[in-house]
Structure 1
Amino acid sequence: MTTSTTSESSAATPLLDLQALVAAVRRRRRLWCSLALLGLLAGAAVAVLMPPAPSAVTKVLVAHQEDQPNDTGTLIRTDVEVLGTTRIADKALRSLKSPENADDFMREYRGTGLTNNLLQIDVTGDSDAEAVARAKALADAFVADHVRRMRETANADTKALLDRRDDMQSELAEVNKAIGDRSPGNDPKASASVESLFARRAELTSRIADFDQRAEDARLGTPRIITDTQIVDAPHAVRQSLPKAAGTNAAIGLVLGLVIGLALAAVGTVVADRPVLRRDIAANLGASVISELPRRSGRLWQRRRTRAARERLTASLARTVRDSAEPVSLLELGCARSASGIALNVARALAAEGPVIVIDGLPGSQLAGHRAKPGGPTVVSGERAAAVPDEGRRLGVGSVAPGTAWTDLQYLGTQTVLVVRAGHGSAAWLHTVARQLADQDIPVIGVVLIDPDPRDRTDGTLWDGLHIALRGHGERSARQKGTGRRRTERLPMWAAQVPDNDQEAR
């Protein structure tokens, strides 16, 4: 089985890198923390500036003729809808003697089915007394309407049963008359007819008794339904707690602000496509990450670690510049101040061995105000770089931000170390930087990552190709030997076939 490193790396690239997405969203914590705080303050402000209107609540026990133990709540939902009709609203307004429109009044109350037979009515008003009066009027109107409907239904059922009973009684009278008109005889056919009449009379008698019983049950059930339908919880005002309302609204605003902030941060991360992990930055620039530095000094207990990292980076870059036969430059992307500080530290470390000239090619004034000290490095602007004498070491500092004059970078140094702030440049721009430096024949020794993600555990070394740091030195050594030929890039290595068993080995 043969495979190539290039095909493996391309096939393993996910469509959406969740690790990079989480890291980028975490770097935008100012955004979603600010939105969460804004939601918290907005929720608390709404509770204070827009307090809820005075409200009252009451509960009504509603009995139904069709109540069943396995009812799914259809009857109580019907009662809730009936409560929200203009008929109930009109009756309540008439009892209150209010000129308010029924449609407007219906927006100020609502019904909730707590159980299959318990209805809760919530009403708002201009004051607690008005809200309580409205709740009582609505409850009374609903109970009266429900009782009326149940009574009408029971009366209609009773009338239908009695009418059917009367019809059967008329038929029974006809059957009795037919039986009485029969004369006794020994005719078999006459005997069979009489027997059928007697059977019909018995059936009609039984059904008449059944209809009488059902009509009686309908009449007796209505008073029970009327009695059971009543107000079980008297209307009372709902006490509003401002601290509780403010806390609830603040919590809701906090959650909503946090969710919106995280969503915006995630969408912005995907759209901007700015690498944060050292693995992605190294892959886009085509150079390995050789060191990392925080953007700020950090907390008190982290300053010693940051100072040690700066000293190690200074020593490493000073050794690189010292061992290099050609000038080295530092090119920044999104971290001009950090690049200036690194350049001055390296220049001071080299100043003990001889004169050092720092060529300032930065667009800003980070190095322009530096005052040269006796025995220290000398800072000159990029315009005066051509007039600088060749004696001593030169260390150029420039930028690869958008708008860079790429052809001028070779005057800062024929080799470079990129100082890049994580999450600053897009993937497309990092590709542009790598391509432009390659076109200018400026090899990249390595990348110094500024403000890295503290939870980044990815590898910033390019294992699937030539190391950029080694390639830069190798190319220069080859040129010094007079070959004048750039070392070609290494082709993908094919894995050797390994026999699966002894037979294949033989």
Structure 2
Amino acid sequence: MTTSTAAQSSASAPLLDLQALVVAVRRRRRVWGALALLGLLAGAAVAVLLPPRPAAVAKVLVAHKDDQPNDTGTLIRTDVELLSTTRIAEQALRSLDSGENPEDFMRDYRGTGLTNNLFRIDVTGDSDAEAVARAKALADAFVADHVRRMRESAEAEADSLLDQRDRMRKELAEVNKAIGDRAPDDDPGASASIESLYARRAELDSRIAEFDQRAAEARTGTPEVVAGTRIVDAPHAVEHSLPKAVGIDAAIGLALGLVLGLSLAAVGAVVADRPVLRRDIAANLGASVLA
């Protein structure tokens, strides 16, 4: 009767008693407390012994010919990707009189789009002065490259429009010649043909004027793009606060050490209680398990 009652009592008890586990973890507070303290000290040591490299930042405003209010950021993302090209890196290194490999240099900086027309350049260097010089060289190289590309695009568009205008002028000359060849006493039945020639001449005159205007607008819009693309936040070093870094890293180390310590204490409590767990499992299964 006693054995049956004990078995029923064990079967009704949970396999893992959370209250007992909490008590066991509390008894091991020296373990997780020591690990939490160790994590705190390790985090503070990392902040002191492994400080971040000197860094600089600059902001560039970019004007686009195809700017639209509803743009989803495609243009500025393209600008950011263009910044991370060997062409921009080579131009920046050339202005710095540096023989560094462009691919290696590209690992030391990155661009981040902030708005549709504004992006930030983050650069690292061996010193604050070098980081600032690198940021300025990159910003200048990007602005010069962007202005050059916009001018080339505007010139190409204007040339294409003027080519179409010239072809229409040739056609207009042919139409004028055809009209001039008509004698005043020609067959009245040819009046419809003459009217179509006059209509075609009027259409060609209108389209030639339109292409002249569009070509002028293509070239006129370039100065606006040039003036709108510039450095708006001069390159400057990023201040590094050692106390702040120590506090943040120490807090992270404390949290990680505490989590690790509590986990180890919980696992240790469960493992130490293994014989009891085996008896509980046997009672729940109604079988005999040898300890």
TM-score bin (small chain): 0.7 to 0.9
Identical pairs, percent: 69
Please report the TM-score for the alignment, with normalisation by the length of structure 2.
0.80
1:110 maps to 2:104: no
CA contact (8 A) 1:25 1:265 kept: no
For 1:455, the equivalent position in structure 2 comes to none
Over residues 368-400 of structure 1, what are the superposed CA-to-partner deviations in whole Å (9 max), with x where a residue is unaligned?
Answer: xxxxxxxxxxxxxxxxxxxxxxxxxxxxxxxxx
CA contact (8 A) 1:32 1:257 kept: yes
1:230 maps to 2:80: no
Q: 2:212 & 2:22 partners in 1: Cα distance?
A: 78
Q: 1:250 & 1:188 partners in 2: Cα distance?
A: 101
Q: 1:232 & 1:167 partners in 2: Cα distance?
A: 44
Greater strand share, structure number: 1
Partner-residue secondary structure (3-state), 1:57:
strand
Greater helix share, structure number: 2
Partner-residue secondary structure (3-state), 2:51:
coil
Please report the TM-score for the alignment, with normalisation by the length of structure 1.
0.48
Q: 1:224 & 1:178 partners in 2: Cα distance?
A: 44
CA contact (8 A) 2:282 2:288 kept: no
Partner AA of 1:243 in structure 2: P
Q: 1:247 & 1:81 partners in 2: Cα distance?
A: 35
Q: 2:264 & 2:174 partners in 1: Cα distance?
A: 87
CA contact (8 A) 1:60 1:233 kept: yes
Q: 2:97 & 2:144 partners in 1: Cα distance?
A: 17
Q: 2:205 & 2:17 partners in 1: Cα distance?
A: 88
1:427 maps to 2:277: yes
Partner AA of 1:84 in structure 2: S
Q: 1:88 & 1:26 partners in 2: Cα distance?
A: 63
The 3 A distance-change label for structure 1 pair 431 and 147 is: closer
For 2:65, the equivalent position in structure 1 comes to 65
For 1:121, the equivalent position in structure 2 comes to 121
Over residues 49-87 of structure 1, what are the superposed CA-to-partner deviations in whole Å (9 max), with x where a residue is unaligned?
Answer: 101111111111111111111111111111111111111
1:49 maps to 2:41: no
Over residues 470-499 of structure 1, what are the superposed CA-to-partner deviations in whole Å (9 max), with x where a residue is unaligned?
Answer: xxxxxxxxxxxxxxxxxxxxxxxxxxxxxx
What is the CA-CA distance between 1:210 and the residue it aligns to? 1.2
Equivalent pairs counted in the alignment come to 273
Q: 1:435 & 1:69 partners in 2: Cα distance?
A: 70
What is the CA-CA distance between 1:233 and the residue it aligns to? 1.1
Partner AA of 1:107 in structure 2: R
What is the correspondence of 1:71-470 to structure 2 with a 5 Å cutoff?
71-184=71-184, 187=187, 189-257=189-257, 423=273, 425=275, 427-432=277-282
Higher relative contact order (CA 8 A, sep 6+): 2
What is the CA-CA distance between 1:145 and the residue it aligns to? 0.8
RMSD: 3.4
Over residues 232-268 of structure 1, what are the superposed CA-to-partner deviations in whole Å (9 max), with x where a residue is unaligned?
Answer: 11111111100111222233344455566677788x5
What is the CA-CA distance between 1:132 and the residue it aligns to? 1.1
Q: 1:145 & 1:87 partners in 2: Cα distance?
A: 9
Structure number with bigger Rg = 1
For 1:323, the equivalent position in structure 2 comes to none
The 3 A distance-change label for structure 1 pair 248 and 108 is: same
CA contact (8 A) 1:273 1:426 kept: no
CA contact (8 A) 2:136 2:235 kept: yes
For 1:473, the equivalent position in structure 2 comes to none
Partner AA of 1:427 in structure 2: L
CA contact (8 A) 2:56 2:236 kept: yes
